Amino acid sequence: MSKRTINKIAVIGSGIMGSGIACHFANIGVEVLLLDIVPRELTANEKDKGLTLEDKVVRNRLVNDSLRNALKSKPSPIYHQKFASRIRTGNLEDDISKVSEVDWIIEVVVERLDIKKQVFEKLDTHRTPGTLITSNTSGIPIKFMSDGRSEDFQAHFCGTHFFNPARYLKLFEIIPGPKTKTEVLDFLNGYGEQFLGKTSVVAKDTPAFIGNRIGIFGIQSLFHQVKDLGLTIEEVDKLTGPVIGRPKSATFRTVDVVGLDTLVHVANGIYENCPDDEAHDLFKIPDFIESMMANKWLGSKSGQGFYKKNVSADGKKEILSLDLDTLEYRSKKRASFGTLELTKSIDKVIDRFPVLVDGKDKAGEFYRKNFAAMFAYVSNRIPEITDELYKIDDAMKAGFGWEHGPFQIWDAIGLDKGIAIMKDVGLSPADWINEMKASGHMSFYTVVDGATHFYDIKSKTHIKKPGQDAFIILDNIRKSNEVWKNSGVVIEDIGDGIINVEFQSKMNTIGGDVLAGLNKAID
């Protein structure tokens, strides 16, 4: 990292995302200036108090209300309420000159290019040369935002896309502009990892970047598959949750939490801006989603979406689920599949995938079609959205809570098996996959001397994944440096004369095997 330090930042826009980002910087000890627009009208309460549009309490009402609501929200965006004292509020008319005092300006205003450009024009006048300035846009091209700005602005400008909620989701996408300095990108990459606690991923300036491009494809693909396979939303959530290393909210419950309108907005953006995408039609919103949007069944924010809380006449609470054929709510149905029963004795998620794609029931068919579509899609996104395949895996793990990324899952299933299930549904991988196979490389990742290497398309060989030197990665150590093991303990050599003793017993309980392992380690 460079000698640049971040002691104070400005966040422009105090909505859910802006306030969340402000709180997360306050969490790590950074002073924050949070700014928003001045209200155009008085509230009834302000009128009763005799206030005018010139009173400070009115002029800062929007930003103060937004921050107050954020601090009350669950899960909390801030480690401790006292840290909120690190956040100072103001408005874009009276306080914009104060951005000259900060080290980094983060724009988080409404997703409209015209408004963002107006804000940047003002900021360019007041910012100190050399100050970092970034946009939290989730999809507007970075190259359009800095048009007409000063050379210094453009050199220090890029996209920094936090995922919501900023405190909890680890993905931090960094998107270079046409003239962004390498020093700026390197600094943000390191700062995100070391100070913000993020997984930093540098992405190309393409629609929806990496995380949302792949994540929204995955959800849209499921939207189109669910009715074709005759699955209920409960069944899809059973198949796409913890059994494959994904959050308990799985697919449809996740959409309810995020908001159907948010997902539709991103999907429409990809549909409009990626006409040459081979899966373009999958980003078209299905009829049942259009109906839900028309009914304003947006999820948790509207009180109902794919699921709905219901209280019966006798006061009994029940979660209802949406029947996608009738668009009527009904009692939830228990989802059960024989293929899933076969995985109950398999503790490691990564070891379940070969069993799942070989399933003989509807679940097996679902996994084959789902993974085939995902494998084909991610392979064809390189080099469009990134040159390195590991960035796609990192983005999906950090942004969507997947335990394993698409290429890691493909490795678990096997390269040939992945190609075969694609062929079965009329899909094919990108040409570089066939070139990789022809050259004798049969996996996307390998472990060499305890370090992960990934297949690099440009050099056509496996090269070391960057960023590993500062960490001990036990998954890699386990594969190559095992010294001794029994049913309760594994002992690994982690170098420099140091061993690691890892409990393998259920619930990490201490029994005879664990004690024997500890004694062995001491010896």
Per-residue pLDDT at 2: 67
C-alpha dihedral, 27 to 31 to 37 to 40, nearest 10°? 90
- Count Cβ atoms below 10 Å from residue 285 Cβ, excluding itself: 17
Per-residue pLDDT at 496: 83
Residue 470 confidence (pLDDT) above 90: no
Q: Are domains 8-202 and 211-335 of this chain identical in fold?
A: no
DSSP alpha helices (H): ranges in 310-414? 338-342, 353-357, 362-380, 389-400, 406-413
pLDDT in tens, 474-516: 777 776 788 899 999 999 988 888 999 999 888 889 999 999 9
Q: Which of 61-65, 130-134, 180-184, 474-478 comes out lowest in average pLDDT?
A: 474-478
CATH number of 211-335: 1.10.1040.10
Give the 3-state DSSP-derived string for 212-278, with helices as H, strands as E and coil as C.
Answer: HHHHHHHHHHHHHHHHHCCCCHHHHHHHCCHHHCCCCCCCHHHHHHHCHHHHHHHHHHHHHHCCCCC
Cis peptide before 354 (omega within 30 of 0): no
Fold (CATH) for 8-202: Rossmann fold (3.40.50)
Confidence bin at 3 (pLDDT 50/70/90): confident
Per-residue pLDDT at 173: 98
The whole-chain average pLDDT of the chain stands at 95
Q: What percent of the chain has pLDDT over 90?
A: 89
Pairwise CA distance, residues 324 & 55, whole Å: 52
Per-residue pLDDT at 139: 82
Taking a C-beta distance cutoff of 8 angstroms, is the pair 504, 491 a contact? no
Bridge partners, residue 107, by sequence = 12, 135
Residue 326 confidence (pLDDT) above 90: yes
pLDDT in tens, 183-207: 999 999 999 999 999 999 999 999 9
Pairwise CA distance, residues 224 & 214, whole Å: 15
- The pTM score is 0.91
Query: Per the structure block, which two tokens stand in for 39?
Result: 């209200």
13 φψ region: left (φ > 0), alpha (ψ -120 to 50), beta (else): left
Q: Where does residue 283 rank: exposed (0-12), middle (13-18), buried (19+ CB within 10 A)?
A: buried
Per-residue pLDDT at 77: 97
Q: Roughly how many angstroms between the first and final C-alpha of the chain, as a whole number?
A: 42
Give the domain ranges of the chain: 8-202, 211-335, 362-474, 481-522
What average pLDDT does range 74-89 have in this prediction?
A: 97
Q: What percent of the chain has pLDDT over 70?
A: 99
DSSP SS3 for 508: helix
Residue 321 confidence (pLDDT) above 60: yes
Per-residue pLDDT at 505: 86
More confident of the two residues 456 and 485: 456
Residue 417 confidence (pLDDT) above 60: yes
Per CATH, the homologous superfamily of domain 362-474 is: N-(1-d-carboxylethyl)-l-norvaline Dehydrogenase; domain 2 (1.10.1040.10)
Pairwise CA distance, residues 247 & 401, whole Å: 6
What average pLDDT does range 126-143 have in this prediction?
A: 96
Per-residue pLDDT at 497: 87
